[in-house]
């Protein structure tokens, strides 16, 4: 199974390299990477592998830099340094849009649905749940996107764009359809070929319900009246309907073998000195003597017990590596004493049990149930500490040092919940940026040398998409204006 998984990925990567280097272009309905005639087991492996690589690659780098979890270094022409200055162009988006999202993971998922919906609906259901996740991340990052007319391939090569709120509404329906399908009798049943949950339909069900909560919490605070009833109704299913522990994390595992390591580790290995933890995140954790620092970052200076982040926007000068680096939490087990000696086997985390608890904490705080908010807040911190390898005693001591939510104003309750979620979500693509856009927490200051005076609130569209689908691709004159329906703006 593992050989199948990475053999497929290597083939995909080779294909990606070819299409990236040629002059022909493909739009969101082309499917260069979908293994359209392969067995369902192969297509599922392909879809999940592409999803994991996508969520640990460009989308992670763009958004983790914008929200100041990471920072670029290495000189003014380095990509990550440009991102730090908000120089993210339509050309930067081409590969992630064409090959990773629409022509890659979503295309394979659609192929799997078409192949299995009638005879093996458990495969179709899993694919629909993954599509709901990826479409949600895509609309959170880009705003209006092709949805209802997307993935028709040659049937419609110039799809219309759906408003982001309509996409969200359709995703709830898609999740419900996926839930129905995973409960049906199936000729073929996923097992070892399911790299995320190993064919455990109960875990897929809990993930699906938790994903609904993530979508509903995004309506707060701008459109809270639209989601409060739906949120409360969903919670009536009881805690067992949602993630029950870190074993339910929606994540993709990687291996400590050549060509099988996670994409964050691969980028760190290939672009040494370009990507560091941001001083915004490191200083926030330093101020609380956060025990997660030991797995999140390396010490700087080595052996000092200290942690130093890179300032966003400071990478335009001479190359500087005098900072803490990304540690075992995102790169895997340490294999030696050198700054680059990691196994690369850390998972790419996409939606976690810790996040689920912070979602609940925010919802309860906003609806006046501070006691329930405190319970979920504590559970979220404990789950995050557990993932980072922190002992129960140290996690308990950390929580004891935090002010009780009941002692804080309503605004400060939301602030501390989102700040803890910000820390717990290190390595999760897009979602911390989404939280900042809708809550304004944590408080961030744009670099003084940035191209824009305010932090971007949306990503640009692909310029190839604009050329190939000019009648439908929306104008995007700025990346600093609110462009997703839930975004309340500055």
Residues contacting 73, CB < 8 A, separation 6+: 80, 81, 273, 274, 275, 276, 310, 314, 315, 319, 320, 321, 323
Tokens representing 158?
A: 């110039």
- 433, two tokens: 């940026």
d(C-alpha 68, C-alpha 302), whole Å: 23
**Eight-state DSSP code of residue 100:** I
Report the 10 Å Cβ neighbour count for 127: 28
At 456, list the tokens.
């971007």
Cα separation, 131 vs 186, whole angstroms:
20
Give residue 68's pLDDT. 99
- β-strands 70-72, 275-277 pairing: antiparallel
**Residue from 177, 194, 188, 191 nearest 132 by CA:** 177
pLDDT given at position 261: 94
Q: Which residues on neighbouring strands pair with residue 251, listed in sequence order?
A: 349
Q: Each residue's pLDDT tens digit in the chain (490 positions)? A: 332 333 344 344 333 332 232 222 233 344 444 455 789 999 999 999 999 999 999 999 999 999 999 999 999 999 999 999 999 999 999 999 999 999 999 999 999 999 999 999 999 999 999 999 999 999 999 999 999 999 998 889 999 999 999 999 999 999 999 999 999 999 999 999 999 999 999 999 999 999 999 999 999 999 999 999 999 999 999 999 999 999 999 999 999 988 889 999 999 999 999 999 999 999 999 999 999 999 999 999 999 999 999 999 999 999 999 999 999 999 999 998 776 789 999 999 999 999 999 999 999 999 999 999 999 999 999 999 999 999 999 999 999 999 999 999 999 999 999 999 999 999 999 999 999 999 999 999 999 999 999 999 999 999 999 999 999 999 999 999 999 999 999 8
Counting DSSP H helices and E strands in the chain, the numbers are: 20, 4
Q: What is the pLDDT of residue 31?
A: 44
Residue with the two structure tokens 């620092």: 293
- Alpha-carbon Rg for the chain, nearest whole angstrom, is 21
Q: What is d(CA 126, CA 145) in angstroms, rounded to the nearest whole number?
A: 22
Residue 451: both structure tokens together:
């191209």
Q: Do residues 361 and 248 lie in contact, with contact meaning Cβ atoms separated by under 8 Å?
A: no
3-state secondary structure of 252: strand
DSSP class of residue 392 equals H
Q: What is the DSSP string of 119-162?
A: T-HHHHHHHHHHHHHHHHHHHHHHSSB--TTTT-GGG-SSPPPB
Q: According to the model, what pLDDT value does residue 35 have?
A: 57
Q: Taking Cα atoms as reference points, which of 57, 51, 40 lies closest to residue 4?
A: 40
Pairing relationship of beta strands 70-72 and 348-351 according to DSSP bridges: unpaired
Closest CA to 80 of 408, 314, 286: 314
Q: How far apart are CA 447 and CA 68, in angstroms?
A: 10
Q: Where are the alpha helices (DSSP H) in 236-290?
A: 263-270, 279-286
C-alpha dihedral sign at 285, 290, 292, 293: positive
Which residues fall within 8 angstroms of residue 386, CB to CB, at 6 or more apart? 246, 395
Residue listed under structure tokens 């004493």: 337
Under DSSP, the state recorded for 461 is: P
Taking a C-beta distance cutoff of 8 angstroms, is the pair 33, 103 a contact?
yes
- Residue-range domain boundaries for the chain: 267-348
């Amino acid at each position: 199974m593992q050989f199948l998984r990475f053999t497929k990925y290597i083939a995909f990567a080779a294909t990606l390299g070819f299409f990236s280097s040629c002059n022909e272009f493909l739009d969101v309905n082309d499917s260069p990477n979908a293994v359209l005639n392969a067995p369902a087991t192969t297509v599922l492996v392909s879809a999940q592998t592409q999803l994991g690589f996508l969520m640990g690659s460009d989308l992670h780098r763009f958004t983790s830099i914008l929200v100041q979890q990471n920072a670029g270094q290495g000189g003014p022409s380095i990509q990550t340094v440009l991102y730090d200055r908000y120089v993210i162009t339509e050309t930067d988006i081409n590969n992630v849009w064409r090959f990773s999202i629409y022509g890659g993971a979503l295309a394979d998922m659609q192929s799997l649905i078409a192949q299995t919906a009638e005879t093996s609906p458990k495969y179709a259901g899993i694919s629909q749940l993954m599509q709901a996740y990826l479409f949600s991340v895509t609309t959170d990052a880009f705003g209006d996107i092709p949805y209802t007319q997307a993935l028709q391939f040659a049937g419609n090569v110039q799809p219309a764009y759906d408003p982001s709120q309509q996409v969200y509404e359709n995703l709830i329906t898609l999740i419900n359809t996926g839930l129905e399908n995973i409960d049906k009798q199936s000729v073929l049943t996923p097992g070892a070929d399911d790299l995320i949950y190993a064919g455990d339909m109960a875990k897929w069900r809990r993930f699906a319900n938790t994903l609904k909560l993530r979508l509903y919490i995004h309506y707060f605070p701008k459109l809270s009246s639209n989601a409060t009833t739906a949120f409360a109704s969903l919670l009536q299913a009881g805690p067992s309907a949602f993630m029950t522990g870190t074993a339910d994390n929606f994540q993709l595992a990687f291996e400590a073998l050549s060509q099988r390591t996670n994409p964050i580790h691969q980028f760190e290995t290939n672009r040494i000195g370009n990507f560091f933890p941001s001083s915004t995140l490191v200083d926030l954790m330093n101020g609380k003597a956060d025990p997660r620092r030991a797995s999140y970052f390396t010490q700087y200076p080595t052996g000092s017990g200290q942690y130093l982040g890179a300032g966003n926007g400071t990478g335009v000068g001479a190359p500087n590596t005098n900072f803490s680096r990304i540690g075992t939490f995102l790169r895997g087990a340490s294999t030696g004493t050198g700054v680059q000696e990691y196994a690369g086997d850390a998972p790419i985390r996409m939606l976690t049990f810790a996040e689920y608890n912070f979602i609940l904490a925010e919802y309860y705080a906003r609806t006046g149930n501070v006691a329930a908010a405190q319970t979920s807040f504590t559970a979220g911190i404990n789950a995050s500490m557990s993932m980072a390898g922190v002992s129960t005693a140290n996690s308990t001591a950390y929580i004891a040092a935090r002010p009780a939510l009941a002692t804080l104003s309503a605004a400060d309750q939301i602030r501390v919940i989102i700040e803890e979620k910000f820390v717990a979500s290190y390595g999760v693509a897009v979602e911390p940026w989404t939280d900042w856009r809708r809550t304004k927490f944590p408080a961030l200051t744009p670099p003084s040398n940035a191209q824009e005076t305010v932090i971007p609130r949306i990503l640009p569209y692909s310029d190839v998409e604009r050329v190939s689908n000019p009648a439908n691709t929306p104008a995007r004159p700025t990346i600093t204006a609110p462009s997703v329906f839930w975004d309340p703006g500055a």
